Structure 1
Amino acid sequence: MAPVSTPPMKEARSIFNNLGYEVVDDGDEFRAKRKWREVRVTACADSTTAPKRGELRCFVAWEENAARLSQQLRESNPEYEWAVIAVREGGDYEVARVPPSKIAV
C-alpha cells in the first residue's frame, strides 16, 4: 500500500519529466512547462482545497485517493481545466479524471 499520508511529489515530478516537461519548483507545487503549455501541478496526500482560479492544473494523488479527489473537484467546479493522475505504489499511473472538453496533460 502506498504511503497515503505523504503526497506523491517524487512520482509527480517523475511523470512530468518522463513526458518531456521542464519541472520548475513553486513552493508546495511545481510548474511543468513544455512548448506553449504550462501546467501547475499539485501532489495531494488525500484531499486538497482546490484553488478557484487558474488555467491548466493537474492534481497527482495515490490511486486509492484519486476518485475522491476527482469528485471534490467536480463538486467545486473550478474555472480552469484540470486533470487528476492516479499513481500506483510501483510508479505506474493513469489519468483518473479529465473533464470532457478539457485538455489532457
Structure 2
Amino acid sequence: MATVSTPPIDHAKSIFADLGYTVSGDGEEFRAERKWRVVRVTAVTDSDDTPDDGDLRCFVAWDEQASELRNRLRRADPEYEWAVIGVEDGGDYEVLRAPPSPASAV
C-alpha cells in the first residue's frame, strides 16, 4: 500500500514523461509541456487545498484518495480545466476527468 502522507511525485513525473511531455520543476508541483500544451501538475495527498488559478491542471494522488479529490474539485468548480490521476503503488494509474463544462456542450 502507498504511503498516504507522501505525494506520488515520482509517479506523476514518470506518467507525464512516458506520455511525451517535457517535465520541469521540483517539489510537489511541476510543469509538463508538449507542443502548445502546458499542464501544471500537482502531486497531492489528503490536503483540502487546491489552487485557484491556471488554465490546465492535473492532480496526481494515490488511488485511494483520487475519487474524493475529484469530488472536492467538482464542488469547488474551479475556473481551470482539470483532471485527476489516481496512482497505485505499483505504478498503474487511472485518469478521472472533470465533468464537461456547459460551454463545451454547445
With normalisation by structure 2, the TM-score equals: 0.89
* Aligned counterpart, 2:77: 77
CA distance in 1 between counterparts of 2:84 and 2:93 reads 10
1:10 is paired with a residue whose SS is helix
Distance 1:90 1:28, change over 3 A: closer
CA contact 2:9–2:28 (8 Å) conserved in 1: no
Higher CA-based Rg: 2
Structure 1: distance between partners of 2:56 and 2:27: 17
* Equivalent position of 1:88 in the other structure: 88
Q: Does 1:18 align with 2:15?
A: no
CA–CA separation in structure 2 for the residues paired with 1:26 and 1:11: 13
**Equivalent AA in structure 2 for residue 2 of structure 1:** A
Percent identical pairs in the alignment equals 64
Task: Note the aligned Cα RMSD (angstroms).
Answer: 1.3
Correspondence 1:63 to 2:63: yes
| TM-score, with structure 1 as normaliser | 0.90
Rounded Cα–Cα distance in structure 2 between residues aligned with 1:21 and 1:57: 14
Q: Structure 2: any 5+ residue segments left out of the alignment?
A: 102-106
Structure 1 partner of 2:45:
45
